[in-house]
Amino acid sequence: MLSFFMPTKIFFGKDAVYENYSLFDIGKRAFIVCSPSVFKNGSLEDVFSVLKRHKIEYALYSSIKPNPTVEQIDEVVQIAKDFKADFIIGIGGGSPLDSSKAIAVLLANENWHAKDLFEKHIEKSLPLICIPTTCGTGSEVTPYSILTIHDIENKRSFASEHIFPKYAIVDYKYLKSLPFDIIVDTSFDALSHVIEGFLAVKNTPFTSSFAFDALKIYSSIKSNLLNKNLNDKILEMLSLISVYGGIIIAHTSTLVVHPLGYNLTYYHDIPHGRANAYLLSKFLEIEMKYLPDEVETIINLLGFNDINDLDNYIKELLPPANINIETNTLNFYASRAIASKNVNNLRHEISMDELVYIMKSIE
Ligand code: NAP
Ligand code: FE
Protein backbone atom coordinates (compact mmCIF):
# COMPACT_ATOMS: atom_id res chain seq x y z
CA MET A 1 0.00 0.00 0.00
CA LEU A 2 1.40 3.39 -0.99
CA SER A 3 0.38 6.74 0.40
CA PHE A 4 1.33 10.34 -0.16
CA PHE A 5 0.21 13.15 2.11
CA MET A 6 1.15 16.79 1.64
CA PRO A 7 -1.49 19.01 3.26
CA THR A 8 0.64 22.15 2.87
CA LYS A 9 -0.35 24.24 -0.15
CA ILE A 10 2.88 25.33 -1.82
CA PHE A 11 3.29 28.58 -3.73
CA PHE A 12 6.67 28.80 -5.43
CA GLY A 13 8.19 31.57 -7.51
CA LYS A 14 9.37 35.13 -7.69
CA ASP A 15 7.20 37.59 -5.75
CA ALA A 16 5.15 34.67 -4.40
CA VAL A 17 4.15 36.54 -1.21
CA TYR A 18 2.90 39.61 -2.98
CA GLU A 19 1.24 37.70 -5.85
CA ASN A 20 -0.63 35.50 -3.37
CA TYR A 21 -1.62 38.22 -0.94
CA SER A 22 -5.14 36.80 -0.50
CA LEU A 23 -3.66 33.78 1.34
CA PHE A 24 -2.92 36.00 4.32
CA ASP A 25 -6.58 36.63 5.01
CA ILE A 26 -6.82 33.70 7.44
CA GLY A 27 -7.09 35.64 10.68
CA LYS A 28 -7.23 39.04 12.27
CA ARG A 29 -4.09 39.05 14.41
CA ALA A 30 -0.85 37.72 12.97
CA PHE A 31 2.19 36.92 15.08
CA ILE A 32 5.35 36.99 12.99
CA VAL A 33 8.25 34.78 14.10
CA CYS A 34 11.57 35.54 12.40
CA SER A 35 15.25 36.36 12.81
CA PRO A 36 17.21 39.56 12.08
CA SER A 37 18.06 38.78 8.42
CA VAL A 38 14.42 39.32 7.40
CA PHE A 39 15.05 43.06 7.65
CA LYS A 40 17.65 42.77 4.88
CA ASN A 41 16.27 40.21 2.45
CA GLY A 42 12.92 41.82 1.60
CA SER A 43 10.75 39.06 3.06
CA LEU A 44 9.46 41.06 6.00
CA GLU A 45 8.71 44.05 3.81
CA ASP A 46 6.64 41.83 1.51
CA VAL A 47 4.73 40.38 4.46
CA PHE A 48 4.11 43.81 5.99
CA SER A 49 2.69 45.07 2.73
CA VAL A 50 0.19 42.22 2.37
CA LEU A 51 -0.87 42.43 6.02
CA LYS A 52 -1.49 46.15 5.64
CA ARG A 53 -3.50 45.49 2.51
CA HIS A 54 -5.85 43.23 4.51
CA LYS A 55 -5.71 45.55 7.55
CA ILE A 56 -4.49 42.64 9.67
CA GLU A 57 -3.01 43.56 13.05
CA TYR A 58 0.41 42.09 13.66
CA ALA A 59 3.14 41.74 16.25
CA LEU A 60 6.71 40.82 15.47
CA TYR A 61 9.32 38.73 17.25
CA SER A 62 12.51 39.02 15.22
CA SER A 63 15.21 37.58 17.48
CA ILE A 64 15.03 33.82 16.97
CA LYS A 65 18.55 32.43 17.24
CA PRO A 66 19.98 29.55 15.19
CA ASN A 67 19.13 26.19 16.79
CA PRO A 68 16.30 27.63 18.94
CA THR A 69 15.96 26.38 22.50
CA VAL A 70 12.83 25.31 24.35
CA GLU A 71 13.46 28.19 26.78
CA GLN A 72 13.39 30.74 23.99
CA ILE A 73 10.17 29.25 22.62
CA ASP A 74 8.44 29.55 26.02
CA GLU A 75 9.46 33.21 26.21
CA VAL A 76 8.12 34.02 22.77
CA VAL A 77 4.87 32.14 23.37
CA GLN A 78 4.13 34.47 26.28
CA ILE A 79 4.52 37.50 23.99
CA ALA A 80 2.28 35.93 21.33
CA LYS A 81 -0.34 35.08 23.98
CA ASP A 82 -0.36 38.63 25.31
CA PHE A 83 -0.89 39.84 21.75
CA LYS A 84 -3.80 37.36 21.33
CA ALA A 85 -2.52 36.08 18.00
CA ASP A 86 -4.93 34.00 15.93
CA PHE A 87 -2.44 32.90 13.29
CA ILE A 88 1.34 32.63 12.94
CA ILE A 89 3.71 33.60 10.16
CA GLY A 90 7.21 32.08 10.27
CA ILE A 91 9.85 33.75 8.10
CA GLY A 92 13.50 32.72 7.78
CA GLY A 93 15.69 29.67 7.85
CA GLY A 94 14.81 26.43 9.60
CA SER A 95 15.37 27.99 13.02
CA PRO A 96 12.55 30.58 12.84
CA LEU A 97 10.31 28.20 10.85
CA ASP A 98 10.68 25.41 13.42
CA SER A 99 10.09 27.98 16.17
CA SER A 100 6.93 29.19 14.46
CA LYS A 101 5.61 25.62 14.40
CA ALA A 102 6.27 25.15 18.12
CA ILE A 103 4.67 28.50 18.93
CA ALA A 104 1.60 27.71 16.80
CA VAL A 105 1.01 24.50 18.79
CA LEU A 106 1.64 26.09 22.18
CA LEU A 107 -0.81 28.91 21.51
CA ALA A 108 -3.54 26.40 20.68
CA ASN A 109 -2.90 24.32 23.80
CA GLU A 110 -3.52 26.19 27.03
CA ASN A 111 -0.87 25.65 29.75
CA TRP A 112 1.55 23.65 27.62
CA HIS A 113 5.26 24.41 27.76
CA ALA A 114 7.76 23.79 24.97
CA LYS A 115 9.04 20.60 26.61
CA ASP A 116 5.51 19.15 26.41
CA LEU A 117 5.78 19.16 22.63
CA PHE A 118 8.01 16.09 22.91
CA GLU A 119 5.78 14.23 25.36
CA LYS A 120 2.16 15.03 24.60
CA HIS A 121 0.01 14.08 21.65
CA ILE A 122 -0.53 17.14 19.51
CA GLU A 123 -4.09 17.53 18.29
CA LYS A 124 -4.28 21.16 17.33
CA SER A 125 -2.31 24.19 16.30
CA LEU A 126 -2.98 27.74 15.12
CA PRO A 127 -2.93 28.21 11.33
CA LEU A 128 0.60 28.76 10.13
CA ILE A 129 2.19 30.30 7.03
CA CYS A 130 5.90 29.56 6.47
CA ILE A 131 8.19 31.60 4.23
CA PRO A 132 11.73 30.16 3.91
CA THR A 133 14.75 32.38 3.32
CA THR A 134 17.41 29.64 3.21
CA CYS A 135 17.60 26.69 0.81
CA GLY A 136 18.02 23.73 3.11
CA THR A 137 15.56 22.53 5.67
CA GLY A 138 12.34 22.29 3.71
CA SER A 139 10.69 22.94 7.09
CA GLU A 140 7.93 24.86 5.25
CA VAL A 141 6.61 21.49 4.00
CA THR A 142 7.45 19.09 6.84
CA PRO A 143 5.57 17.95 9.94
CA TYR A 144 8.71 18.37 12.07
CA SER A 145 10.21 20.98 14.34
CA ILE A 146 13.67 20.64 15.85
CA LEU A 147 14.54 22.39 19.10
CA THR A 148 17.59 22.44 21.32
CA ILE A 149 17.15 21.06 24.83
CA HIS A 150 20.10 21.91 27.07
CA ASP A 151 18.96 19.44 29.77
CA ILE A 152 19.79 16.57 27.42
CA GLU A 153 22.62 18.46 25.67
CA ASN A 154 21.06 17.75 22.29
CA LYS A 155 18.57 18.73 19.62
CA ARG A 156 15.30 16.85 19.44
CA SER A 157 12.49 16.82 16.94
CA PHE A 158 8.78 16.54 17.46
CA ALA A 159 6.39 15.61 14.71
CA SER A 160 2.71 16.08 14.08
CA GLU A 161 0.37 16.31 11.12
CA HIS A 162 -0.90 19.48 12.77
CA ILE A 163 2.36 21.35 12.22
CA PHE A 164 2.37 21.06 8.48
CA PRO A 165 2.04 24.77 7.60
CA LYS A 166 -1.23 25.71 5.93
CA TYR A 167 0.74 27.55 3.25
CA ALA A 168 4.41 27.44 2.23
CA ILE A 169 5.32 30.52 0.24
CA VAL A 170 8.72 30.12 -1.39
CA ASP A 171 10.41 33.02 -3.17
CA TYR A 172 14.03 32.41 -4.19
CA LYS A 173 14.74 36.15 -4.32
CA TYR A 174 15.17 36.11 -0.53
CA LEU A 175 18.28 33.95 -1.05
CA LYS A 176 20.06 36.83 -2.75
CA SER A 177 21.25 38.24 0.56
CA LEU A 178 22.29 34.86 1.92
CA PRO A 179 26.09 34.68 2.42
CA PHE A 180 27.64 32.11 0.07
CA ASP A 181 28.75 29.80 2.89
CA ILE A 182 25.18 29.58 4.20
CA ILE A 183 23.91 28.82 0.69
CA VAL A 184 26.41 25.96 0.54
CA ASP A 185 25.66 24.69 4.05
CA THR A 186 21.90 24.75 3.62
CA SER A 187 22.00 23.22 0.14
CA PHE A 188 23.89 20.28 1.66
CA ASP A 189 21.10 19.93 4.23
CA ALA A 190 18.64 19.68 1.34
CA LEU A 191 20.86 17.17 -0.47
CA SER A 192 21.15 15.16 2.71
CA HIS A 193 17.34 15.05 3.02
CA VAL A 194 17.03 13.83 -0.56
CA ILE A 195 19.72 11.15 -0.13
CA GLU A 196 18.65 9.94 3.32
CA GLY A 197 15.01 9.89 2.20
CA PHE A 198 15.80 7.89 -0.93
CA LEU A 199 17.64 5.27 1.13
CA ALA A 200 15.00 5.12 3.87
CA VAL A 201 12.73 2.19 4.55
CA LYS A 202 9.68 4.38 3.91
CA ASN A 203 10.86 5.54 0.48
CA THR A 204 8.14 4.96 -2.14
CA PRO A 205 7.82 5.56 -5.87
CA PHE A 206 6.27 8.93 -4.94
CA THR A 207 9.23 10.09 -2.87
CA SER A 208 11.69 8.47 -5.30
CA SER A 209 10.38 10.58 -8.14
CA PHE A 210 11.05 13.75 -6.14
CA ALA A 211 14.51 12.38 -5.27
CA PHE A 212 15.36 11.56 -8.90
CA ASP A 213 14.42 15.07 -9.97
CA ALA A 214 16.21 16.76 -7.07
CA LEU A 215 19.42 14.81 -7.73
CA LYS A 216 19.29 15.62 -11.45
CA ILE A 217 18.72 19.30 -10.74
CA TYR A 218 21.58 19.29 -8.25
CA SER A 219 23.82 17.67 -10.87
CA SER A 220 23.00 20.46 -13.33
CA ILE A 221 23.95 23.23 -10.89
CA LYS A 222 26.78 21.70 -8.88
CA SER A 223 29.50 23.41 -10.90
CA ASN A 224 27.78 26.77 -10.32
CA LEU A 225 28.26 26.25 -6.59
CA LEU A 226 31.93 25.34 -7.08
CA ASN A 227 32.49 28.41 -9.22
CA LYS A 228 30.36 30.68 -7.03
CA ASN A 229 28.43 31.43 -10.18
CA LEU A 230 24.92 31.99 -8.87
CA ASN A 231 22.06 33.74 -10.64
CA ASP A 232 18.28 33.84 -10.30
CA LYS A 233 17.83 30.52 -12.09
CA ILE A 234 20.34 28.75 -9.82
CA LEU A 235 18.76 30.21 -6.67
CA GLU A 236 15.37 29.05 -7.93
CA MET A 237 16.75 25.53 -8.45
CA LEU A 238 18.33 25.52 -4.97
CA SER A 239 14.97 26.50 -3.48
CA LEU A 240 13.26 23.77 -5.45
CA ILE A 241 15.69 21.08 -4.25
CA SER A 242 15.07 22.26 -0.70
CA VAL A 243 11.28 21.98 -1.06
CA TYR A 244 11.66 18.54 -2.71
CA GLY A 245 13.90 17.43 0.17
CA GLY A 246 11.23 18.58 2.64
CA ILE A 247 8.48 16.72 0.77
CA ILE A 248 10.63 13.58 0.78
CA ILE A 249 11.52 13.58 4.49
CA ALA A 250 7.93 14.48 5.40
CA HIS A 251 7.26 10.89 4.26
CA THR A 252 10.50 9.03 5.00
CA SER A 253 12.10 10.92 7.93
CA THR A 254 15.89 11.19 8.01
CA LEU A 255 18.45 8.47 8.74
CA VAL A 256 21.64 8.53 10.81
CA VAL A 257 23.39 11.52 9.23
CA HIS A 258 21.02 13.84 11.09
CA PRO A 259 21.35 12.49 14.66
CA LEU A 260 25.13 12.12 14.22
CA GLY A 261 25.29 15.68 12.92
CA TYR A 262 23.33 17.06 15.90
CA ASN A 263 26.42 16.24 18.02
CA LEU A 264 28.56 18.43 15.78
CA THR A 265 26.06 21.26 16.03
CA TYR A 266 25.47 21.01 19.76
CA TYR A 267 29.04 20.44 20.95
CA HIS A 268 31.10 22.01 18.16
CA ASP A 269 28.84 24.78 16.89
CA ILE A 270 28.89 23.50 13.31
CA PRO A 271 25.85 24.68 11.29
CA HIS A 272 23.29 21.93 10.68
CA GLY A 273 23.70 21.56 6.91
CA ARG A 274 27.50 21.64 7.11
CA ALA A 275 27.46 18.97 9.83
CA ASN A 276 25.44 16.71 7.53
CA ALA A 277 27.76 17.43 4.61
CA TYR A 278 30.86 16.38 6.56
CA LEU A 279 29.24 12.99 7.25
CA LEU A 280 27.57 12.31 3.92
CA SER A 281 30.28 10.45 1.96
CA LYS A 282 31.22 8.03 4.72
CA PHE A 283 27.52 7.40 5.30
CA LEU A 284 27.20 6.51 1.60
CA GLU A 285 30.19 4.18 1.90
CA ILE A 286 28.33 2.28 4.62
CA GLU A 287 25.09 2.26 2.62
CA MET A 288 27.00 0.93 -0.40
CA LYS A 289 27.48 -2.35 1.50
CA TYR A 290 23.73 -2.83 1.91
CA LEU A 291 22.12 -0.93 -0.97
CA PRO A 292 24.70 -0.78 -3.78
CA ASP A 293 22.15 -0.20 -6.57
CA GLU A 294 20.52 2.71 -4.76
CA VAL A 295 23.84 4.34 -3.89
CA GLU A 296 25.04 3.92 -7.51
CA THR A 297 21.83 5.59 -8.66
CA ILE A 298 22.44 8.54 -6.33
CA ILE A 299 26.04 8.98 -7.48
CA ASN A 300 25.10 8.64 -11.16
CA LEU A 301 22.20 11.06 -10.97
CA LEU A 302 24.42 13.57 -9.19
CA GLY A 303 26.91 13.23 -12.04
CA PHE A 304 29.83 11.98 -9.94
CA ASN A 305 32.10 9.07 -10.89
CA ASP A 306 32.04 7.50 -7.44
CA ILE A 307 31.70 8.35 -3.74
CA ASN A 308 35.27 9.60 -3.68
CA ASP A 309 34.43 12.09 -6.41
CA LEU A 310 31.45 13.34 -4.36
CA ASP A 311 33.69 13.53 -1.29
CA ASN A 312 36.23 15.70 -3.13
CA TYR A 313 33.42 17.98 -4.30
CA ILE A 314 32.12 18.40 -0.73
CA LYS A 315 35.65 19.08 0.53
CA GLU A 316 36.18 21.74 -2.10
CA LEU A 317 33.07 23.59 -1.00
CA LEU A 318 33.51 23.39 2.76
CA PRO A 319 36.19 24.63 5.12
CA PRO A 320 38.00 21.70 6.78
CA ALA A 321 36.27 20.66 10.00
CA ASN A 322 39.58 20.74 11.86
CA ILE A 323 38.27 19.21 15.02
CA ASN A 324 39.90 16.46 16.91
CA ILE A 325 37.47 14.30 18.79
CA GLU A 326 38.70 11.68 21.25
CA THR A 327 37.67 8.06 20.69
CA ASN A 328 35.52 8.04 23.83
CA THR A 329 33.63 11.06 22.63
CA LEU A 330 33.14 9.58 19.17
CA ASN A 331 31.70 6.49 20.84
CA PHE A 332 29.42 8.69 22.91
CA TYR A 333 28.15 10.50 19.79
CA ALA A 334 27.57 7.19 18.03
CA SER A 335 25.75 5.77 21.05
CA ARG A 336 23.34 8.71 21.01
CA ALA A 337 22.66 8.14 17.32
CA ILE A 338 22.11 4.40 17.75
CA ALA A 339 19.60 5.14 20.51
CA SER A 340 17.66 7.55 18.28
CA LYS A 341 14.49 6.55 16.45
CA ASN A 342 16.22 7.38 13.15
CA VAL A 343 18.02 4.01 13.08
CA ASN A 344 14.62 2.39 12.54
CA ASN A 345 14.31 4.34 9.30
CA LEU A 346 17.30 2.53 7.80
CA ARG A 347 16.67 -0.50 5.61
CA HIS A 348 19.24 -2.50 7.60
CA GLU A 349 20.76 -2.82 11.04
CA ILE A 350 23.69 -0.53 11.78
CA SER A 351 26.50 -1.15 14.26
CA MET A 352 28.31 1.18 16.64
CA ASP A 353 31.49 0.60 14.62
CA GLU A 354 29.77 1.78 11.46
CA LEU A 355 28.44 4.92 13.18
CA VAL A 356 31.88 5.68 14.61
CA TYR A 357 33.32 5.20 11.12
CA ILE A 358 30.90 7.82 9.77
CA MET A 359 31.71 10.22 12.62
CA LYS A 360 35.43 9.87 11.85
CA SER A 361 34.82 11.83 8.62
CA ILE A 362 35.43 15.00 10.53
CA GLU A 363 38.98 14.17 11.61
P1 NAP B 1 19.04 29.03 10.35
O2 NAP B 1 19.60 28.57 11.65
O3 NAP B 1 17.59 29.26 10.28
O4 NAP B 1 19.79 30.34 9.85
C5 NAP B 1 21.18 30.31 9.67
C6 NAP B 1 21.69 31.69 9.40
O7 NAP B 1 21.21 32.16 8.15
C8 NAP B 1 21.26 32.71 10.44
O9 NAP B 1 22.43 33.31 10.91
C10 NAP B 1 20.41 33.69 9.65
O11 NAP B 1 20.65 35.02 10.07
C12 NAP B 1 20.90 33.54 8.25
N13 NAP B 1 19.91 33.83 7.21
C14 NAP B 1 18.74 33.17 6.97
N15 NAP B 1 18.17 33.64 5.84
C16 NAP B 1 18.96 34.63 5.38
C17 NAP B 1 18.91 35.47 4.22
N18 NAP B 1 17.96 35.33 3.30
N19 NAP B 1 19.89 36.38 4.07
C20 NAP B 1 20.93 36.49 4.97
N21 NAP B 1 21.04 35.69 6.05
C22 NAP B 1 20.08 34.77 6.25
O23 NAP B 1 19.53 27.96 9.24
P24 NAP B 1 18.86 26.76 8.47
O25 NAP B 1 19.97 25.90 8.04
O26 NAP B 1 17.86 27.21 7.48
O27 NAP B 1 18.03 25.99 9.61
C28 NAP B 1 18.66 25.13 10.49
C29 NAP B 1 17.66 24.65 11.52
O30 NAP B 1 16.60 23.91 10.87
C31 NAP B 1 18.30 23.68 12.50
O32 NAP B 1 17.80 23.92 13.79
C33 NAP B 1 17.87 22.32 11.97
O34 NAP B 1 17.88 21.32 12.98
C35 NAP B 1 16.48 22.64 11.47
N36 NAP B 1 15.93 21.69 10.47
C37 NAP B 1 14.58 21.51 10.45
C38 NAP B 1 13.99 20.62 9.56
C39 NAP B 1 12.50 20.41 9.58
O40 NAP B 1 11.97 19.57 8.86
N41 NAP B 1 11.77 21.13 10.40
C42 NAP B 1 14.78 19.92 8.66
C43 NAP B 1 16.17 20.14 8.68
C44 NAP B 1 16.72 21.03 9.59
P45 NAP B 1 19.77 35.73 11.21
O46 NAP B 1 19.78 34.79 12.38
O47 NAP B 1 20.51 37.00 11.44
O48 NAP B 1 18.43 35.94 10.62
FE1 FE C 1 18.16 18.72 8.02
* Whether the predicted pLDDT of 67 surpasses 90: yes
Contact between 146 and 259 under an 8 Å Cβ cutoff? The reply is no
Query: For all residues of the chain together, what is the average pLDDT?
Result: 97
- pLDDT mean over 261-281: 98
Nearest CA to ligand 1 atom 20: 178
How many other β-carbons are positioned within 10 Å of the β-carbon of residue 336? Answer: 18
The per-residue pLDDT for 234 is 98
Mean pLDDT of 81-91: 98
Closest ligand 1 atom to the C-alpha of 175? 18
322, pLDDT greater than 90 = no
Q: Which amino acid is at 46?
A: D
pLDDT bin (cut points 50, 70, 90) of residue 363 is confident
Average pLDDT over residues 224-245: 98
Distance CA 170, CA 240 (A): 9
Measure the CA–CA gap between 352 and 358, rounded to whole angstroms: 10
Q: Report, as an integer, the average pLDDT of 127-143.
A: 98
Q: Which of 46, 62, 134 is the pocket-test mutation for ligand 1 (most atoms within 8 Å of CB)?
A: 134
From the CA of 83, how far away is ligand 2's center (Å)? Answer: 32
Do residues 22 and 249 touch, judged by C-beta distance below 8 A?
A: no
Model-wide pTM > 0.85: yes
Cα–Cα distance for residue pair 210/3, rounded to 1 Å: 14
Q: Which residue has a Cα nearest atom 40 of ligand 1?
A: 139
Cα(216)–Cα(222) distance, rounded to whole angstroms?
A: 10
Which ligand does the CA of 250 lie closest to? 1
